[in-house]
Amino acid sequence: MDFISTSLLSSPPLPTKEDNNGNVLFDPCTLGNAAKIPAQFIWPEDDRVPSDEYLDAPVVDLGPFLSGDAAGVCRAVEAAREACIEYGLFQVVNHGVDPALSRGALTCVEEFFGLPLEERMRAHQRTGSLWGYSGAHAERFADKLPWKACLSFGSDGSIVDFLGSTMGKGFEPMGAVYERYCEAMKEAALTIMELLGISLRVGRDYFKEFFEDMGYIMRCNYYPRCPEPELTQGTGPHCDPVAVTLLQQEEVEGLQVFTKGSWKVVRPVPHALVVNIGDTFMALSNGMYKSCLHRAVVNRHDDRRSLTFFVCPRGDKVVRPPEELLARDGGWRNYPDFTWSEMVEFTQRRHRVNGVTLPCFFEHLLSTSSDQTTP
């Protein structure tokens, strides 16, 4: 367990700042011109094996799917099914999100991370919260820090109000852009849930209805150029604990997927969203669809920005596979029931998300259940 120990993070002359709780926050954005990176950003060799291979993942056209073209629906469903079984990832185009809105949201990312650290820190992420600015997640971890900064929002409040109250009234228009983007992404997510429902042969409406009252986390990611990119990670290898992740990339490469024994680059496709299956949907599919092991790498010359929209169930909703799907599996259950609130508590307080979060989570659930039933 590598939750933060501030004594490990206080050696000068690293540029640091403390939040209101006394946690030291790194600002990786200021380190791009340094000769070497701080030791806390260096990752184990096994996590940073380089790759120049590209993933031949399908690009699914949702235009015919949205218009009701039968042949187009079949093509989209088959491509998504094969990709979810093999990689846990595919890309979608003609998904209904206005490209101008996506560009506007990415421009806001550039504007926010172009601010001085002192201004960004007004929106710093408080301990135990999913909202706000974080430099390298240093408020949570002491080593293997990612070479990134991010700004996160949840579905349990107003982004306009949050930015207005923390950053000032002048940032409310930025919050309005992010709110419009989240609404558009919710619609895109429900369309993708329809696609996944058909692909698993449980009906077009099953997962759409399950996620109609979805929660979400929106994260604006900034990966600054790095003087020693071969030593660090933008985001370390992990599977997302959520149901589905929708990623908006820029043209700078960085996303990589581990498949068939090696890391492969996911090439950015103009106006496409990357659809990434997470642990929660893997459980919902009873293991039929694969949770995607992925990472983000950085480079020496270019900054990289992205927008991540994490889709999760309502906190108290029970996650279990559809009965129709279980019947086809002979009633066999690969995973116990859980709620998203239980998963959040586990990943925020007990476990740093990695490639084995799901089995670790279920081991925790079973041990907790045993403790409660032991006389």
| Phi and psi angles of residue 196, each rounded to the nearest 5 degrees, phi first | -70, -35
- Within 10 A of 270 (CB to CB), how many other CB atoms are there? 8
Catalytic residue among 204, 304, 305, 350: 304
Q: Is 100 helix (H, G, I), strand (E, B) or coil?
A: helix
Other beta carbons within 10 angstroms of residue 1's beta carbon come to 7
Structure tokens at 213: 């009252």
DSSP-based three-state secondary structure for 277: strand
What letter does residue 147 receive in the DSSP assignment?
S
Distance CA 344, CA 357 (A): 11
**Structure token digits, residue 47:** 């996590």
Q: Give which of 113, 115, 186, 116 is closest to 155, Cα–Cα.
A: 186
**By the 8 A CB rule, do 292 and 276 touch?**
yes
Query: How far is 111 from 64, CA to CA, in rounded Å?
Result: 36
Is 126 tagged catalytic?
no
Number of other residues whose CB lies within 10 A of the CB of residue 158: 14
CA 248, 253, 255, 259: dihedral to nearest 10 degrees?
130
For the chain, strand residue ranges (E) read: 16-18, 24-26, 59-61, 89-93, 132-135, 149-154, 215-223, 235-238, 244-249, 255-259, 262-265, 273-277, 294-296, 304-312, 318-319, 338-339
Please tell me the distance from the alpha carbon of residue 149 to that of residue 144, in angstroms, as a whole number: 14
Spatial neighbors of 140 by CB under 8 A, at least 6 apart, are 3, 4, 352
Tokens of 161: 């109000």
Hey, which residues are catalytic here? Answer: 304
